[in-house]
C-alpha cells in the first residue's frame, strides 16, 4: 500500500448514534426508513439469492464435466439453467449495486439526510422480497423449465412447470425496481446539498441516474409482457400463440425491449463504482468528466434501440435486422468512451493496487472483452452462426460477472469501512480478487471457443470432442467459487476482529468520506456546503509525499 | 410540488367523460369502419389517456420538468412501437437470394392472404 497515511483529524463529538447503533431489535430493521439500513437489508437478501443461483450453476458445471447426461435428467437441467438465470438476473444482478451501494451512498454523496421518499424505499424492499418468495415457491414446488426468457408459446401454452408463480415473482420485484428508480431520480433532482451542482455530482450519481431512467421506462414493459403471457396461459387468450391467433415474435419484441436495456441496468451501476475507484487509486482527477457523465445517458438511450439483435434468427424482416444491427454497433461508442477515459485517468497517475483497484482493473479488461465480443453478435452474419451457442454464454458472462460482479465486489471492498466501520484484511482481499479473476477467465474463456466450434447452449449432454474445454470451464468454476466464498468469510470476520476504520481510510474525495464510519443516522451532523467538484486528487502531491517518506 | 387544488367536480367530469368514451369504444368496435376501425379506436384511446394524464395526474398544473418526464414516457412508447412495426411492416420486402422473382411473388402473395 503506497497511499500516504494522512494524519486523521479527531472524529467530531458524537451528536447522534451511528445508524447501526440506532436500534438492535428485529423491528428496528424491518420497519426502518433509513436508506443505509435498507441498503443492508437488500445486501443480505441478494447474497442469499446469489448463493441459491450459484449452487444451480455449480450442479450444471458438474453435469458438463462429462459428455453424457449422467448427473441430472435433461428436464432437471432445463430447470437448473432457468433457476440460475431468473434468480441471478432479477434477484441478484439487477438489484445488486443500485439497491445496496446506490441506496447507501446516493443520499450521502449528494449531501442529503435520506432519499426523497424513505417509506417508498422500504416498500421497494418488501416488494422485492415478496417477489423473491414467489420465485422461491416456484423453485421448491418443482421449478420452471422455460429458460429465463420465457419464450412463448412454450411458456404460455405447453410448459408443465410453475411458470405463473415465477412470473408473479418477477412481476412483483419489478415494481420494487420501478419505485427504487423513481426514488433515485427525485432524490438527485430535489435533495442535493447547497453548492452541489449537476457537474459537481460524482459520476456514481450520473450513472445511477441513467440506470434509474431505464428502470422507470423499461420495467413496466416487462410487467405488461409477463401479464399478457399469463393471460394466454390461464385463459387461453390468443396473444402470442399462433394457433389461437397470436404472434410469438411479438413476445420476443416486448421481452427484449425490457431485457436488453436491463443489461445496462446491470452494468451502468458497475461503471458508476469504477468511476469512483479509478481516480481514488490513481490519485488523479478523472479524465473527461463530462464525457463519462453524458456517455452514461447515451448508453441509457441507445440501449433502448438495439433489442432486435437478440432476434436475428427469429425471422424478423431483413430491413429490421439491418437497422437493429447498425444501431447495436452504435452503443459500443459510449461504452468505449468510458473505457478510454478510465485508461486515460490511469496515465501518469500514482497508482496503487489495493483490493478495490484490483477489481476495477479486472473490470476494465473483462468488460472490454465482453463488449468487443458483443460486436461479433451485433453483426448479422456472425450472429446467425453464434446464436444459441456457448459463445453467447461466454459473452454475456463477461459483461454480467466480469462487469457487474467485479464492480459490485470492488464497491463492497471500497465502501466496507464506511458501511461497517471496520477494515477488511487487505492481503486476503487482494488474494480473493486475483482468485476471482483467474477463476472467472478459466471458466468462461473456454466457452468462447466451445461456442465458436458450435456447442449449443441449454443441453445437458454434448459431443465428446468438446470435453476438454468443458473440464477447463468446470475447473475454473470451482476456483471462482473460492473467490466468492473468501470475501464472505473475511467480511464476517472483520465485523468482529477487523481494525476500526477511520472516516476516510482511502483519502478519497466525496462527501460520504467526510462523515464518521459508520455514519450517523442522518448522515451528516450539519448539511455540507459544496464548493468544488469531485475527484480533487493530485498525483504530484502524492508522489512528493512518497519521496519525502522514502527519503 | 404543485399546490393547485382541483375541485371534486372536475374529477367527476373526467370520470363521466371516461365512461362516455368507454361506451364509444365499445360502440365503435361493434360497427365495421374498415381500415378506419383501428384509427377510431386509437383516437378515442388517446383522448382518454390525455384526460387521465393531464387532469387526473395533474401534469397540466405541474412544472416543466414534469412535462419533460411525461413526454419522455410517451417518446419511449413511440420508440417501442416504431421499431417493432419496422419489423412487421417490412416483412417480405426483400427477396431472398435462393428464390426467383416469380417464386418470391407467389410466396408474398400467399403470406398477405
Q: Domain A37-549's class? A: mainly alpha
B55, B76: one domain: no
Whether the CA torsion A377, A382, A388, A394 is positive or negative: it is negative
CA-nearest of B64, B79, B65, B63 to A185 is B65
Which of A308, A303, A227, A294 lies closest to A261, judged by CA?
A303
* The pLDDT of residue A124 is above 50: yes
Does B5 lie in the same domain as B58?
A: yes
Q: How far apart are CA A282 and CA A285, in angstroms?
A: 9
CA distance A218 to A20: 35
One domain, residues B25 and B78:
no
Q: Which domain holds residue B51?
A: 1-62
Q: What's the CA gap between A338 and A287, in Å, rounded?
A: 10
A516 φψ region: left (φ > 0), alpha (ψ -120 to 50), beta (else) = beta
Mean pLDDT of A311-331: 93
Q: Which residue of A has its CA nearest to B85?
A: A320
Given a cut of 90, whether residue A19 has pLDDT beyond it is yes
Which among A213, A249, A308 has CB closest to B83?
A308
Q: Closest-CA residue in chain A for B84?
A: A253
CB A167 within 8 A of CB A150: yes
User: In this model, does residue A299 exceed pLDDT 60?
Assistant: yes
User: For the stretch A209-237, what's the b/e string if a residue is b when 16 or more beta carbons lie within 10 angstroms of its beta carbon?
Assistant: bbbbbbbbbbbbbbbebbebbbebbeeeb
Is B3 in the same domain as B53?
yes
Nearest to A217 among B76, B86, B92 (CB): B76
Q: Contact, A411 vs A273, CB < 8 A? A: yes
- Cα distances from A310 to residues A112, A172, A451, A533, B81, in angstroms, run 41, 25, 16, 40, 17
Mean pLDDT of the region A217-231? 96
A150-154: long-range pairs with CB below 8 Å, 24+: A150/A226, A150/A229, A150/A251, A150/A255, A151/A248, A151/A251, A151/A252, A151/A255, A152/A229, A152/A232, A152/A240, A152/A241, A152/A246, A152/A248, A152/A251, A153/A232, A153/A240, A153/A241, A153/A242, A153/A243, A153/A246, A153/A248
For residue A11, give the DSSP letter: P
C-alpha cell at B10: 372536475
Q: What percent of chain A has pLDDT over 70?
A: 97
Q: Does residue A405 have a pLDDT over 60? A: yes
Task: Note the pLDDT tens digit of each residue in A96-116.
Answer: 999 999 999 999 999 999 999
Residue B47 shares a structural domain with residue B27: yes
Mean pLDDT in residue range A37-59: 97
- Which chain A residues are Cβ-neighbours of B76 within 8 angstroms? 217, 304
Average of pLDDT values for A31-45?
97
Q: Say how far apart CA A315 and CA A326 lie, in whole Å.
A: 17
> A6 pLDDT exceeds 80?
no
Q: With contact defined as beta carbons under 8 Å apart, do A480 and A172 qualify?
A: no
Q: pLDDT category, A324, cuts 50, 70, 90?
A: very high
B42-74 per-position pLDDT tens digit: 999 999 999 999 999 999 999 998 999 899 999
DSSP output for A110-168: TT-SS-S-HHHHHHHHHHHHHHHHHHHHHHHTT---STTTT-TTIIIII--S-HHHHHH
The pLDDT of residue B112: 59
Q: Does A491 score more than 70 pLDDT?
A: yes
Are A483 and A432 a contacting pair, CB within 8 Å? yes
Number of domains in chain B: 2
CA distances from A113 to A29, A186, A194, A482 (A): 18, 14, 13, 38
Say if residue B72 is in the same domain as residue B112.
yes
Cα atoms in the Cβ-side hemisphere of radius 13 Å centred on B64: 0
Residue A547 C-alpha cell reads as 519521496
Q: Mutate which of B1, B84, B87 to disrupt the A interface (most A C-beta within 10 Å)? A: B87
Question: Whole-prediction pTM value?
Answer: 0.93
> Is residue A113 within 8 Å of residue A135, measured between CB atoms?
no
pLDDT score, position A14: 66
What cell was used for A415? Answer: 465502501
Does residue A504 have a pLDDT over 50?
yes
The rounded distance, in Å, linking the Cα atoms of A131 and A91 is 9
The pLDDT value given to residue A9 = 58
Closest-approach residue (CA) in chain B for A254: B80
Average pLDDT for chain A: 94
What pLDDT does residue B113 have? 54
- Report A:207-266 residues touching B (Cβ under 8 A): 213, 217, 221, 249-250, 253-254, 257
Please indicate, yes or no, whether residues B7 and B55 belong to a single structural domain of this protein.
yes
Predicted pLDDT of residue B3: 59
The answer to whether residues B70 and B57 belong to one domain is no
**pLDDT at B92 exceeding the cut of 90:** no
Residues B48 and B82 in one domain: no
* Same domain (yes/no): B57, B106: no
What was the pLDDT predicted at A321?
93
Q: Which residues pair with A18 in a beta bridge?
A: A520
What's the grid cell of residue A115?
A: 432519499
Q: Does A304 sit within 8 Å of B90, measured CB to CB?
A: no
User: CB–CB of B84 and A317 under 8 A?
Assistant: no
Domain ranges of chain A: 37-549
Split at pLDDT 50, 70, 90, the class of A254 is very high
Indicate whether B41 and B2 sit together in one domain. Answer: yes
Chain A, 170 to 189: residues with Cβ < 8 Å from chain B are: 189
Model pLDDT, residue A1: 46
Tally C-beta pairs within 8 A across A and B.
Answer: 46
Judge: A217–B88 Cβ closer than 8 Å, yes or no. Answer: no
**What local confidence, expressed as pLDDT, does residue A11 receive?**
57
Could you give the 3-state DSSP secondary structure of residue B99? coil
pLDDT tier at A3 (50, 70, 90 boundaries)?
Answer: low
CB contact under 8 A, B80 and A319: no
The C-alpha cell at A120 is: 417508498
Angle at A139 between CA A136 and CA A145, to 5 degrees: 140
B48 with B69, same domain: the answer is no
CA distances from A352 to A10, A355, A429 (A): 26, 10, 14
pLDDT by residue (tens digit) across A327-374?
Answer: 999 999 999 999 999 999 999 999 999 999 999 999 999 999 999 999
Closest Cβ opposite residue B79 in set A250, A304, A319: A304
Amino acid at each position: 500500500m503506497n497511499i500516504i497515511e494522512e494524519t486523521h483529524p479527531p472524529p467530531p463529538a458524537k451528536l447522534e448514534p451511528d445508524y447501526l447503533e440506532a436500534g438492535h431489535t428485529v423491528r428496528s430493521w424491518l420497519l426502518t426508513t433509513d436508506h443505509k439500513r435498507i441498503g443492508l437489508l437488500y445486501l443480505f437478501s441478494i447474497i442469499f439469492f446469489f448463493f441459491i443461483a450459484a449452487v444451480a450453476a455449480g450442479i450444471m458445471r458438474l453435469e458438463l464435466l462429462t459428455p453424457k447426461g449422467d448427473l441430472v435428467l435433461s428436464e432437471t437441467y432445463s430447470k437448473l439453467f432457468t433457476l440460475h438465470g431468473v434468480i441471478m438476473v432479477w434477484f441478484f444482478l439487477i438489484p445488486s449495486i443500485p439497491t445496496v451501494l446506490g441506496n447507501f451512498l446516493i443520499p450521502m454523496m449528494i449531501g442529503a439526510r435520506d432519499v426523497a421518499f424513505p417509506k417508498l424505499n422500504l416498500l421497494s424492499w418488501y416488494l422485492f422480497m415478496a417477489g423473491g418468495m414467489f420465485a422461491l415457491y416456484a423453485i421448491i414446488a418443482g421449478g420452471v423449465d422455460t429458460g429465463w426468457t420465457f419464450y412463448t408459446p412454450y411458456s404460455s401454452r405447453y410448459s408443465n412447470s410453475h411458470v405463473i408463480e415465477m412470473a408473479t415473482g418477477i412481476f412483483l420485484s419489478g415494481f420494487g425496481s420501478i419505485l427504487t428508480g423513481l426514488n433515485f431520480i427525485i432524490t438527485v433532482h430535489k435533495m442535493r446539498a447547497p453548492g452541489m451542482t449537476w457537474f459537481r455530482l460524482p459520476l456514481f450519481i450520473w450513472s445511477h441516474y441513467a440506470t434509474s431512467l431505464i428502470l422507470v421506462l423499461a420495467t413496466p414493459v416487462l410487467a405488461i409482457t409477463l401479464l399478457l403471457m399469463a393471460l394466454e396461459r390461464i385463459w387461453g387468450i390468443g396473444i402470442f400463440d399462433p394457433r389461437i391467433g397470436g404472434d410469438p415474435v411479438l413476445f420476443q419484441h416486448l421481452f427484449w425491449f425490457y431485457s436488453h436495456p436491463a443489461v445496462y441496468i446491470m452494468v451502468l451501476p458497475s461503471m458508476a463504482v469504477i468511476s469512483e475507484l479509478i481516480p481514488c487509486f490513481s490519485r488523479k482527477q478523472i479524465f473527461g468528466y463530462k464525457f463519462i457523465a453524458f456517455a452514461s445517458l447515451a448508453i441509457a438511450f441507445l440501449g433502448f434501440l438495439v433489442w432486435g439483435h437478440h432476434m436475428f434468427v427469429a425471422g424478423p424482416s431483413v430491413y429490421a435486422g439491418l437497422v437493429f444491427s447498425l444501431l447495436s454497433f452504435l452503443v459500443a461508442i459510449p461504452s468505449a468512451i468510458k473505457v478510454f477515459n478510465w485508461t486515460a485517468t490511469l496515465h501518469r497517475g500514482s497508482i496503487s493496487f489495493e483490493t478495490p483497484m484490483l477489481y476495477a482493473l479486472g473490470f476494465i479488461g473483462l468488460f472490454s472483452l465482453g463488449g468487443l465480443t458483443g460486436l461479433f453478435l451485433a453483426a448479422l452474419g456472425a450472429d446467425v452462426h453464434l446464436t444459441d451457442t456457448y459463445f453467447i454464454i461466454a459473452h454475456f458472462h463477461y459483461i454480467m460477472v466480469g462487469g457487474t460482479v467485479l464492480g459490485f465486489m470492488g464497491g463492497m471492498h471500497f465502501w466496507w469501512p464506511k458501511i461497517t466501520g471496520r477494515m477488511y484484511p487487505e492481503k486476503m482481499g487482494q488474494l480473493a480478487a486475483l482468485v476471482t479473476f483467474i477463476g472467472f477467465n478459466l471458466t468462461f474463456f473456454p466457452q468462447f471457443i466451445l461456442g465458436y466450434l458450435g456447442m449449443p447452449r441449454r443441453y445437458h449432454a454434448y459431443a465428446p470432442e468438446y470435453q476438454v474445454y468443458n473440464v477447463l470451464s468446470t475447473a475454473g468454476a470451482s476456483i471462482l467459487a473460492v473467490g466468492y466464498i473468501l470475501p464472505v468469510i473475511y467480511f464476517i470476520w472483520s465485523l468482529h476482529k477487523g481494525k476500526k476504520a477511520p472516516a476516510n481510510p482511502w483519502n478519497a474525495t466525496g462527501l460520504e468520506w467526510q462523515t464518521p464510519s459508520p455514519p450517523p443516522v442522518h448522515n451528516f451532523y450539519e448539511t455540507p456546503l459544496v464548493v468544488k467538484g469531485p475527484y480533487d486528487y493530485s498525483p504530484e502531491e502524492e508522489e512528493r509525499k512518497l519521496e519525502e517518506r522514502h527519503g | 410540488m404543485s399546490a393547485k387544488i382541483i375541485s371534486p367536480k372536475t374529477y367527476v367530469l373526467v370520470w363521466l367523460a371516461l365512461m362516455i368514451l368507454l361506451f364509444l369504444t365499445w360502440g365503435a368496435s361493434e360497427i365495421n369502419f374498415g381500415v378506419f376501425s383501428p384509427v377510431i379506436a386509437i383516437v378515442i384511446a388517446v383522448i382518454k389517456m390525455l384526460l387521465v394524464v393531464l387532469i387526473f395526474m395533474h401534469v397540466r398544473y405541474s412544472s416543466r420538468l414534469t412535462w419533460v418526464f411525461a413526454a419522455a414516457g410517451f417518446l419511449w412508447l413511440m420508440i417501442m412501437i416504431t421499431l417493432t412495426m419496422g419489423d412487421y411492416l417490412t416483412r417480405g420486402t426483400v427477396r431472398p437470394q435462393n428464390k426467383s422473382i416469380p417464386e418470391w411473388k407467389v410466396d408474398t402473395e400467399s403470406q398477405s392472404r
